Amino acid sequence: MTQIYPVLWFQDHALLIDQNRLPQEYTQIKISRSGEMAWAIKTMVVRGAPAIGVAAAYGLVLGAQEILRDHPPDRQIFLDHLRSIAEEIRSTRPTAVNLFWAVDKMLRAAHQSGVAVAHLPGILLEKAEEIRRQDLYTCQQIGAHGLAVLPATPHRLRLLTHCNAGALATAGYGTALGVVRSAWTEGRLERLYADETRPRLQGARLTAWECVQEGIPVTVITDSMAAHCMQQGLIDAVVVGADRIAANGDTANKIGTYNVALAAQAHGIPFFVAAPQSTLDLSLADGSGIPIEQRPPEEVSRLGEVSLTPAGVSFYNPAFDITPAALITGIITEHGTFKPQDLAAKFVLATSD
Ligand code: MRU
């Protein structure tokens, strides 16, 4: 199995796979300052909800190192500066709740630690490493639980996914693609259909690249072909990731996910969301409170250097949409698969470190 680690720590800096350059080029970028990490998250060098969380955690480790380089080792000064670095990192992308979850965990670790200030970067690095390792393990569990709920078919499964919820979007295994990976390893997968995922093409560029690395048969389709493929009997189940899941199970994921869920319901095809507990936001009763990131118009109006439209038109570019809980067959987590309406009761108490 090829190992893909989008975010790693090495000595005193982070290393990110530059996801904007895939699949043409596999390069790692060295990130040495918290501001650079904020930039990398905002510009989607690193993307995908859990991977953003891990990157944010390392961003705070970098921030902690900076504070001690630039200021006297005073606890109050340290915590004040760390909070403002946390704000900068929080302001990068609004939808994936894993970012806020990880930043909060890191701030708590700094506040609760009784060690001398000089040792706080080390404490924060341990915490960030724990977040990364835990996500790897969590995704493997999601993969195993997903396998148990995929439909029984006379032939091997044909799955459809949207965007990239793979190793690149997590610490290194994937949520939705973790389920696909498990199905493949167990000999239950015939083929993955990957929506290209306009406008940033995470499906065509990243999901397809990951599948090629693993030898998983993959067919890339444009987003508008998903319903047709279902109608043609080519799809047995849909598995997607999530950026934030509200208490009632309404789920924010990459723009276009809602269309896929509607089409799946119309064709009686099971539609699964695969996500770790860190993607749940039980503070929101339903999906209407989830902030939807608006991205620059150029992502829609241009393809590389080529303008796609005449001058004078306007653009709307929401990066995510909300799939209502009623369209979701099950939410696959590291603790098992739940009906959307059962999620809150299961997880309401499980918010500790
Ligand atoms: O804008 P992106 O590429 O960060 O959006 C990613 C997605 O929507 C993924 O499906 C989601 O984060 C789940 S990743 C395991």
- Pair (17, 149) in one structural domain: no
Structure tokens at 252: 């924010």
Domain boundary among 107, 137, 167: 137
CB 237 within 8 A of CB 328: no
- Pair (88, 185) in one structural domain: no
Evaluate whether residue 1 is within a structural domain.
no
Neighbours of 82 (CB within 10 A): 22
Catalytic residues: 243
Domain boundary among 106, 122, 137: 137
Q: Is the CB of 54 under 6 A from ligand 1?
A: no
Q: Is the CB of 256 under 6 A from ligand 1?
A: no
Residue 105 bridge partners (DSSP): none
Evaluate whether residue 2 is within a structural domain.
no
Nearest ligand 1 atom to alpha carbon 166: 15
**Pairing between strand 157-161 and 189-195?**
parallel
Q: Is the CB of 170 under 6 A from ligand 1?
A: yes
194 Cβ neighbours under 8 A, 6+ residues apart: 160, 161, 203, 204, 207, 208, 211, 218, 219, 220, 221
Which of 254, 280, 290, when mutated, tests ligand 1's pocket best, judged by the most ligand atoms within 8 Å of its CB?
254
- Pair (50, 147) in one structural domain: no
Nearest ligand 1 atom to alpha carbon 293: 1
- Pair (309, 190) in one structural domain: yes
Domain range holding 153?
139-351
- Pair (231, 158) in one structural domain: yes
To 10 degrees, the CA torsion angle through 231, 237, 243, 247?
100
Q: Is the CB of 47 under 6 A from ligand 1?
A: yes
Ligand 1 mean position, distance from CA 48 (Å): 4
Q: Give the model's pLDDT for residue 352.
A: 45
Q: How many CA atoms lie within 13 A of 229 on its CB side?
A: 25
CATH of the domain at 247: 3.40.50.10470
- Pair (156, 48) in one structural domain: no
Q: Whose CA is nearest to atom 5 of ligand 1?
A: 48
SS3 (DSSP) at 157: strand
Would you say the C-alpha torsion 187, 145, 226, 294 has a positive or negative sign? negative
Give the count of domains, the chain.
Answer: 2
Distances (CA, A) of 297 to 45, 166, 239, 257, 314: 19, 26, 28, 20, 8
Nearest ligand 1 atom to alpha carbon 98: 12
Which of 4, 16, 47, when mutated, tests ligand 1's pocket best, judged by the most ligand atoms within 8 Å of its CB?
47
Query: Alpha-carbon distance 249 to 286, whole Å?
Result: 7
Q: Give the model's pLDDT for residue 353.
A: 47
Which of 52, 163, 180, when mutated, tests ligand 1's pocket best, judged by the most ligand atoms within 8 Å of its CB?
163
- Pair (147, 116) in one structural domain: no
Ligand 1 mean position, distance from CA 112 (Å): 31
Interior angle at CA 153, CA 150 and CA 157, nearest 5: 60
Nearest ligand 1 atom to alpha carbon 202: 3
First to last CA, the chain: 31
Q: Is the CB of 50 under 6 A from ligand 1?
A: yes
Q: Give the model's pLDDT for residue 117.
A: 97
- Pair (307, 162) in one structural domain: yes
Digits of tens for pLDDT over the chain (353 positions)? 579 999 999 999 999 999 999 999 999 999 999 999 999 999 999 999 999 999 999 999 999 999 999 998 899 999 999 999 999 999 999 999 999 999 999 999 999 999 999 999 999 999 999 999 999 999 999 999 999 999 999 999 999 999 999 999 999 999 999 999 999 999 999 999 999 999 999 999 999 999 999 999 999 999 999 999 999 999 999 999 999 999 999 999 999 999 999 999 999 999 999 999 999 999 999 999 999 999 999 999 999 899 999 999 999 999 999 999 999 999 999 999 999 999 999 987 454 44
Evaluate whether residue 206 is within a structural domain.
yes
Domain boundary among 137, 170, 190: 137
- Pair (32, 181) in one structural domain: no
Q: Is the CB of 205 under 6 A from ligand 1?
A: no
- Pair (109, 205) in one structural domain: no
Query: Among 75, 79, 81, which residue's Cα sits nearest to residue 116?
Result: 75
CATH of the domain at 11: 1.20.120.420
- Pair (36, 127) in one structural domain: yes
Evaluate whether residue 299 is within a structural domain.
yes
- Pair (155, 291) in one structural domain: yes
Ligand 1 mean position, distance from CA 62 (Å): 24
